[in-house]
């Protein structure tokens, strides 16, 4: 396991710091874009939203041990189909069918915040639970494969539905079998062990692969990707990746490992990735509010940037964030993500390339998209630069007086710019004087007006100018005084 974590770290370092591990060329998925989650109908219909989410409970689709009822799934799919919206599908385990509590030992306590059954928590590793869940997956997979609406299904989320939907760990205080209720006539279970949980996990993964693929994509939570047994499935694109932990950067080393799986398998184009944010831009989720160190518009924007950086094609956005979609800073952020989502492994047709300058605490370094900042610019990182009411300034880098920052495009993207390009530089307008942008023989002097706000300057580069040439950098920003930069972007066309 430690060797694999080290491998992921090395791969991510290469992907974050340079384009040495260049992506394979693949066509962007036609369903790429923003997906409304936990959203109201009017938010799901926003033009910038590509698709949505169908989320059902196990209890809804299996009323009896020998009977499944997928009518709620069919109704939701029909509604999405009528609206012309692709969707992800998931069956959660927050609520289980009542009959399971007559067949499986259970603890009277709710062993996770995700457990909503009043009877308590089922012994998921018990043979009767395993049999019941495998039966559901067989029926669920067959139904979805044969559905007339299969074409709008982007993929299914692989839920283990062990304790709640995601969790598998039983705290030591609840492991004593004397605490568990065994229904009459049912074989007593065994105490929870990590080995039993791992066996259950592998059994469920195998069942999803068997019952859904290749007709339906299965998205596997990216912390599961840190497993040698599944590497070949991700490398071959037989399994996709998802997580519900997107923030402006990982909040810990543990969650950073999940992002690294995206960098290893999704960014390079081996497989597809779907991501949801941990909470909305204000930190609200599950009835609680997490602290935020930057403004909501900045949090929303940088969360979208990290998903693009990691190779996410399907970006889930909370309805509470989409409620602000008409506000300029939120609207611009959503439009940016919508434009770039899914093109990370399609350099010859991508709409543009960019570098968002930062350092950060995790996933250290710039967020990049088919472009990199070259070493040696002596810049220093800053946080919370500029006004809070602009989306850019959670992170930036200051180019020192007399210094320069150099940027290089992915070769295949550069070679594909037959119709020319527009260079955009986002900078903090502080002080007087001017800085210069050089791109493929075109020079632009940008005057500073000391407005104290982030500004965007543009210059057009003629067709053919970016075909590979001798100079190392494609874009260079030179400044006589300190200059705070957020992004350099090369947009296809004029």
How many whole angstroms separate alpha carbon 321 and alpha carbon 369?
A: 24
For residue 403, the model assigns a pLDDT of: 96
For residue 462, the model assigns a pLDDT of: 84
Tell whether the model's pLDDT for residue 248 goes beyond 70: yes
The more confident residue out of 210 and 231 is 210
For residue 473, the model assigns a pLDDT of: 87
CB 286: neighbour CB atoms within 10 A? 9
How many whole angstroms separate alpha carbon 256 and alpha carbon 250?
A: 5
> How confident is the model over 358-402, as pLDDT tens digits?
999 999 999 999 999 998 899 999 999 999 999 999 999 999 999
How many whole angstroms separate alpha carbon 400 and alpha carbon 483?
A: 7
CA within 13 Å, CB half, 89 = 31
For residue 17, the model assigns a pLDDT of: 37
pLDDT, averaged across the chain: 91
For residue 222, the model assigns a pLDDT of: 85
Tell whether the model's pLDDT for residue 167 goes beyond 50: yes
For residue 231, the model assigns a pLDDT of: 83
For residue 287, the model assigns a pLDDT of: 87
Please state which of the ranges 18-32, 171-185, 208-222, 235-249 shows the lowest mean pLDDT. Answer: 18-32
In the chain, the percentage of residues whose pLDDT exceeds 90 is: 82
For residue 16, the model assigns a pLDDT of: 38
The more confident residue out of 186 and 233 is 186
CB 465 within 8 A of CB 420: yes
Tell whether the model's pLDDT for residue 227 goes beyond 80: no
CB 268 within 8 A of CB 23: yes
The more confident residue out of 234 and 89 is 89
> How confident is the model over 97-125, as pLDDT tens digits?
999 999 999 999 999 999 999 999 999 99
């Amino acid at each position: 396991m430690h060797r694999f974590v080290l491998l992921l770290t090395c791969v991510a370092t290469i992907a974050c710091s340079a384009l040495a591990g260049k992506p394979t060329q693949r066509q962007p998925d036609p369903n790429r874009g923003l997906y409304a989650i936990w959203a109201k109908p009017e938010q799901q219909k926003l033009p910038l939203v590509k698709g949505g989410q169908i989320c059902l409970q196990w209890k809804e689709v299996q009323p009896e041990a020998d009977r499944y009822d997928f009518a709620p799934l069919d109704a939701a799919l029909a509604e999405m189909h009528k609206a012309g919206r692709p969707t992800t599908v998931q069956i959660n385990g927050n609520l289980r069918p009542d009959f399971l509590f007559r067949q499986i030992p259970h603890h009277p306590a709710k062993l996770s915040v995700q457990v909503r059954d009043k009877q308590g928590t089922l012994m998921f590793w018990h043979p009767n639970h395993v049999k019941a869940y495998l039966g559901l997956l067989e029926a669920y997979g067959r139904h979805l494969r044969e559905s007339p609406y299969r074409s709008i299904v982007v993929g299914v989320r692989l839920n283990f539905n062990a304790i709640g939907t995601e969790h598998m760990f039983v705290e030591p205080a609840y492991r004593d079998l004397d605490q568990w209720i065994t229904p009459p006539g049912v074989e007593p279970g065994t105490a929870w062990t990590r080995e039993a949980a791992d066996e259950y996990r592998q059994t469920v993964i195998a069942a999803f692969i068997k019952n859904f693929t290749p007709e339906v994509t299965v998205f596997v939570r990216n912390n599961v990707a840190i497993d040698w047994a599944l590497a070949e499935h991700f490398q071959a694109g037989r399994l996709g990746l998802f997580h519900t932990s997107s923030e402006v950067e990982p909040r810990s080393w543990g969650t950073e490992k999940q992002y690294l799986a995206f960098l290893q398998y999704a960014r390079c184009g081996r497989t597809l990735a779907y991501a949801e944010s941990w909470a909305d831009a204000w930190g609200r989720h599950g009835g609680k509010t997490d602290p935020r160190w930057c403004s909501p518009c900045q949090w929303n924007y940088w969360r979208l940037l990290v998903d693009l950086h990691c190779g996410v094609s399907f970006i889930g956005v909370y309805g509470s964030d989409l409620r602000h979609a008409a506000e300029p800073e939120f609207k611009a952020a959503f439009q940016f993500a919508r434009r770039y989502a899914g093109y990370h492994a399609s350099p010859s047709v991508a709409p543009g390339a960019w570098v968002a300058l930062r350092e950060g605490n995790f996933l250290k370094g710039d967020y990049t998209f088919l472009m990199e900042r070259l070493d040696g610019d002596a810049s220093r990182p800053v946080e919370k630069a500029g006004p809070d009411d602009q989306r850019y300034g959670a992170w930036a880098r200051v180019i020192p007086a007399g210094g320069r920052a150099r940027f290089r495009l992915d070769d295949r993207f550069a070679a594909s710019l037959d119709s020319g390009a527009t260079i955009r530089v986002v900078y903090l307008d502080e002080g007087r004087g001017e800085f210069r942008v050089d791109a493929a023989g075109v020079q632009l002097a940008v005057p500073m007006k000391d407005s104290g706000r982030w500004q965007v300057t543009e210059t057009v580069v003629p067709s053919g100018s970016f075909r590979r040439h001798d100079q190392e950098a494609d874009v260079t920003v030179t400044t006589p005084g300190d200059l705070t930069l957020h992004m350099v972007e090369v947009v296809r066309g004029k």
